[in-house]
Amino acid sequence: MNKSSKLIGFNESMTVEWKQSLSGIDEIIETAVAFANTEGGRIFIGVTPEGKVLGFQIGKGTIEKLVNQIVQNTDPKLHPKVTIKKIDDREVLVIEVKESHDHLVLAFGRPYKRVGRSTIKMSKDEYERLILEKNKDRVRFDNQICKGATLKDINHDLVREFIIKGKSERGLDLSEKLSVQESLMRLKLLKGKKPINAAILLFGAPQDFYPQCELKCIQFKGLDVTEDMLDLKPFTGSVIHQLQDAEKFIFNHIALSAWIESGKLERQEKWEYPPKAIREALANAIAHRDYWSTAKVQVRIFDNRIEFWNPGRLPEGWTAETLTKKHESLPPNPLIAKQFFWIKYVEEVGSGTNKIVKWCREWGLPDPVFEYTGTSIVVTLKKVPETIGKETRKTGEKTREKVR
């Protein structure tokens, strides 16, 4: 490093940029925005790319004009602190930008970020992800007030049934004799007297407000979506009813082994997929989906597998493989996940996907497959290859029966 750059006290870095003059004002504004979207930083005007201090001729109105240009070309408006710093008897202009914690900032309608010493334009996917990350609670679907909904849109019987089941399954400390308003308040499903989206999803008719809140079950003939559909049912109503209805659909379309063991009178039975894994995969698809998306949760039944599709994204830094290992519980809809926990539909410690793997192994099935398409998360339960295509019989081989 040369003598002049040492006097500055900083190298160019994630938070420091050198500019020789204001001639490249667009790049300066883009860098200021990149700092705001990353960790904050300072731009030194009057320093060469090599770190040599040339100084900068600061005329009347220079600072005011610079600030105005930055403000006019950023959204939301960026108001940096601009000061004059004397280095080795030469004046340098310093633009100081703080990190924007609440909003992503655009320059000329485009998002930028800082990577090392470089200012880089963000991709569309990264921009959308960071908007969600920076706004977290404010943009969550489940905790937003459901516009147009009132307590009249809440099914009182569903609330009462939920409380009774929650008390029985997990010791929920709530009386079924409370008013609906009081019950929802204690469950944190009201803002003032207005139901939030989670309340409508759980205890109302969410399709009246959000058509995408639907679950679709399809049985295909064969092994691919290009084959004929043997059955298709869309399920609406509360997400609790959707889960129950989808579960019945699945068990109506998968096989049941039945046999009599020597010396025993009772018939032994075993579904071709573990019921606990089916319940967990369904509950995860409903509780963890992206409800802002117009896509719907889908269950696809093939001759050799069941696929559970839910629109959504994995947390930052996660891959599909993360779901097969120990991991944190980071539900995108924590209020829905919490209520599912009370009625024992999901776990609360990030163990659900690990248990799906465990249950499939105990059932003698191949490990389930977890995939991330970029817009959806897919969980696939697979049959044992040698059982695919076998005829079903009541004598101990496969037979289809309804769940009662």
Same domain for 391 and 273:
yes
Q: Are residues 204 and 224 in the same domain?
A: no
Bridging pattern class, strands 74-75 and 81-87 = unpaired
Q: Distance (Å, rounded) from C-alpha 404 to C-alpha 397?
A: 20
Report the pLDDT value the prediction gives residue 388, as an integer from 0 to 100. Answer: 60
* Domain housing 163: 151-208
Instruction: Give yes or no: residues 165 and 280 share one domain.
Output: no
Question: Where are the alpha helices (H) located in 237-387, listed in sequence order?
Answer: 239-252, 275-287, 334-342, 352-362
Residue 289 per-residue DSSP state: S
244 and 107, same domain (yes or no) = no
pLDDT in tens, 18-28: 999 999 999 99
Q: What is the rounded CA–CA span in Å between residue 214 and residue 156?
A: 21
Tally of domains within the chain:
3
What CATH number is associated with residue 122?
3.30.950.30
**What pLDDT band is residue 402 in, cutting at 50, 70 and 90?**
very low
Phi, psi of 162 (to 5 degrees): -60, -45
pTM of the model: 0.66
- Asked if 106 and 184 sit in the same domain, the reply is no
Instruction: Say yes or no: 115 and 176 in one domain.
Output: no
Q: Is residue 179 part of a domain?
A: yes
Does residue 140 fall inside a structural domain?
A: no
- Residue 404: is its pLDDT beyond 50? no
**For position 124, what pLDDT does the model report?**
87
Please check whether residues 193 and 252 belong to one and the same domain.
no
CA-wise closest residue to 35 among 104, 89, 114: 114
Six token digits for residue 369: 């497959």
Residue 141 included in any domain: no
User: Roughly how many angstroms between the first and final C-alpha of the chain, as a whole number?
Assistant: 78
- Distance between CA 311 and CA 289 in Å, rounded? 5
Does residue 25 sit in the same domain as residue 55? yes
Inter-residue contact 35 to 15 (CB < 8 Å): yes
In a shared domain, residues 165 and 220: no
Residue 101 belongs to a domain? yes
Mean pLDDT of 239-255: 97
350 and 329 in a common domain: yes
Mean per-residue pLDDT of the chain: 89
- Does 389 lie in the same domain as 362? yes
What pLDDT shows up at residue 349? 63
The answer to whether position 104 is within a domain reads yes
94 lies in the same domain as 174: no
